[in-house]
Amino acid sequence: MTTIAPEQVNRIVWNQHHDPFEVLGAHLIEENGKNNRWAVRAYLPNASAVTVILPEERKEYPMETVHDPHFFECTIETKELVNYQFRVKEGEHERVIYDPYAFHSPKLTEFDLHLFGEGNHHRIYEKLGAHPTEVNGVAGVYFAVWAPNARNVSVIGDFNSWDGRKHQMRKGHTGIWELFVPGLGVGEHYKYEIKNIEGHIYEKSDPYGFQQEPRPKTASIVSDLDAYSWGDEDWLENRRHSDPLTQPISVYEMHLGSWLHASSGEPAKLPNGETEPVVTVSELNPGARFLTYRELAERLIPYVKELGYTHIEILPVAEHPFDGSWGYQVTGYYAPTSRYGKPEDFMYFVDQCHKNGIGVIVDWVPGHFPKDGHGLAFFDGTHLYEHADPRKGEHKEWGTLVFNYSRNEVRNFLVANALFWFDKYHIDGIRVDAVASMLYLDYCRKDGEWVTNQYGGRENLEAAEFLRQVNHIIFSYFPGIVSIAEESTAWPMVSWPTYTGGLGFNLKWNMGWMHDMLDYFSMDPWFRQFHQNNITFSMWYHHSENYMLALSHDEVVHGKSNIIGKMPGDRWQKFANVRCLFAYMFTHPGKKTMFMSMEFGQWSEWNVWSDLEWRLFQHEPHQQLKEFFKDLNHLYRSEPALYTQDFAKEGFEWIDCSDNRHSVVSFIRRDKDSDNFVVTVCNFTPQPHSHYRIGVPEIGFYTELFNSDARQYGGSNMGNLGGKWTDNWSFHNRPYSLDLCLPPLGVLVLKLDKEKTAEALANS
């Protein structure tokens, strides 16, 4: 005897029901004191026969087909009906499964839904997505996805032959669809099959998925991010009590996939003897494969540690479909790319960095996302994550879509994502890409292709408020981290705290300094005397923001040449110019970032498809340049005057910035916690000066700490024989002065030796 109408059965069979729990599962149809009467229903498209098993009672009840050959029903009299099973016969095969529609306990509480709806659920990634869990003592995976405008959503995967009829999800009143599927676990491949109101079907990766298949496949993979055992507790505790603005920050920016490759025939380093296939690069680099995160930990970390960098910055590590995007067109915001391994392998990489005293910064891309069909674009059959109006929702130049920051759930997706990388992967900072494209509604748009804000202006007020929210939240949870803005305009107070009206970053790339430096150093040294302002202008505005000096990947691609190729002169002068540029950079106020390959003078532009030119190390000038960077980083980290007051006016003063005739500048950097200071003198021409006088504030012996023209770096070895005593001769409005030998295209760093000076004065 059937207990259900044909119309309800058809809605399940045709996958048109927003709440399949109303039809499927166990339903109480008669209640009495001893035994209740239940109707148990199941829709199993491949089944020829189904039996209900009550394990505790050791009873089985055959089911009958109702209104459809694959819709089954039976009635059972028992006091309570929980954790029953189905014995399913499919052709010659038989299996026993739990009924997913017998598990009604949602993982999302009303409070979760309230917070998500207002955009303030900071750890929504612990609720949405796919989570291995237990319900009523039965292990399985809980799936939840936000798709408010979908007509139907199903979870599909290997476990149900990618058939959207088999695991139809239930829609809550907030537009979140959910289902617990018993019997599944870590490693399952899945997607969401989404039908819009017109019945069009979209197969989507999980926006909150923690792992994806290696490209070109696009399925999400169930993962457990809490299984890895971390060993960086001391690092995190020290970070929590530190102020990065008063610490040395020297960043090695890199792209994991093109730093170094292995032969496709070389076995990969994987944990526990695993034999999972590795990922080859592309047809553009046949025979090569990517190094795994664990192999990178083994090879990259010792290299960066030897050179003395404090941080590694990784171009976006979130999952992306196209290698040539460098990671900046993200489809899996919560999944580290599977090109290099599993989530726990990336955790291992970060853990090993911390154990070796190296911080990890990840590029983060909240400004736009690609149009790939499996991604966020038109997610539920409507413009859900992006603006519907292309004048606000599309970057035509990049072929990408713009997040709708005015929608609470979209903003929550991104805010929680920033927090996620600190929480689950212990990273130490984010570098937010293309901030200017977020802040301005007319960014790269012609007249008529953009719309104003509510006040008639071009500022994206929602994006600015979103950035404030992100920064406020991540610093609240994780003090001691860095949040860096790649922002190229004059938007005010980018690196000011949110309570002052700033955007809340604590560092901002100094794009003006970068352009001025590259323009200056690319010109013939004779003409530099007419462009002294390029060298000095940055100090007019430096203290308006907390600046990071960056020579990044963007400066060594698209026909711009690599750094050494930008330099004028013969080969010797090119290397000398590189040393001069970076020595000035490391002594100038501001934190430092430079891109991989600059440290050894790669001639060709960066190519994402191939290795860096490691073969250049067989030539002495490239070995010497690497030694130069090693010593430069050591100097920078060992002298607090070079980093403790980067953003305080007391930390810097010009000695002389007006000697354009010789293209020489000199300045003082002062320590925050002592009266120590260092003196830097830069000669930006190939003409040496044997008697060049500068004023200094104190009497004594000034040790030559660093000379970029030293023989071991490939220079001419002109210098000051270890240091100079002051002359009792006032100069540059200072009571004492030094008579120095300035090397060609050279930078000197000197420091008062107080012990030697005191001893000499005592004996005089």
Model confidence over 172-181: pLDDT tens digits? 989 999 999 9
For residue range 204-258, what is the model confidence (pLDDT) as tens digits? 999 999 999 999 999 999 999 999 999 999 999 999 999 999 999 999 999 999 9
- Which pLDDT score, from 0 to 100, does residue 274 have? 67
Q: Which residue out of 486, 516, 704, 709 is catalytically annotated?
A: 486
Which residues does 32 contact at the CB level (< 8 Å), separation at least 6? Answer: none
pLDDT band at 277 (very low <50, low <70, confident <90, very high): low
- Which pLDDT score, from 0 to 100, does residue 272 have? 67
- Which pLDDT score, from 0 to 100, does residue 80 have? 85
Torsions phi, psi for 747 (to 5 deg): -125, 130
- Which pLDDT score, from 0 to 100, does residue 58 have? 84
pLDDT band at 529 (very low <50, low <70, confident <90, very high): very high
* pLDDT at 33 > cutoff 80: no
Average pLDDT, the chain: 95
Torsions phi, psi for 550 (to 5 deg): -130, 130
Are 602 and 261 within 8 A, CB to CB?
Answer: no
Question: Does the annotation mark 486 as catalytic?
Answer: yes
Cβ of 462: how many Cβ atoms within 10 Å?
18
Cα distance between residue 212 and residue 47, in whole Å: 31
Q: Domains of the chain, with CATH numbers?
A: 6-98 (2.60.40.10), 110-222 (2.60.40.10), 242-432+479-638 (3.20.20.80), 646-763 (2.60.40.1180)
pLDDT band at 34 (very low <50, low <70, confident <90, very high): confident
* pLDDT at 325 > cutoff 80: yes
Are 41 and 27 within 8 A, CB to CB?
Answer: yes
pLDDT band at 267 (very low <50, low <70, confident <90, very high): confident
* pLDDT at 275 > cutoff 70: no
Are 310 and 359 within 8 A, CB to CB?
Answer: yes
Are 553 and 253 within 8 A, CB to CB?
Answer: yes
* pLDDT at 466 > cutoff 90: yes
How open is the CA angle 99-103-105, to the nearest 5 degrees? 170
* pLDDT at 283 > cutoff 80: no
For residue range 108-123, what is the model confidence (pLDDT) as tens digits? 999 999 999 999 999 9
Are 157 and 188 within 8 A, CB to CB?
Answer: yes
* pLDDT at 56 > cutoff 90: no
Query: Can you tell me which residue has the tokens 């009550």?
Result: 54
- Which pLDDT score, from 0 to 100, does residue 393 have? 87
Q: Which residue out of 313, 423, 433, 487 is catalytically annotated?
A: 433
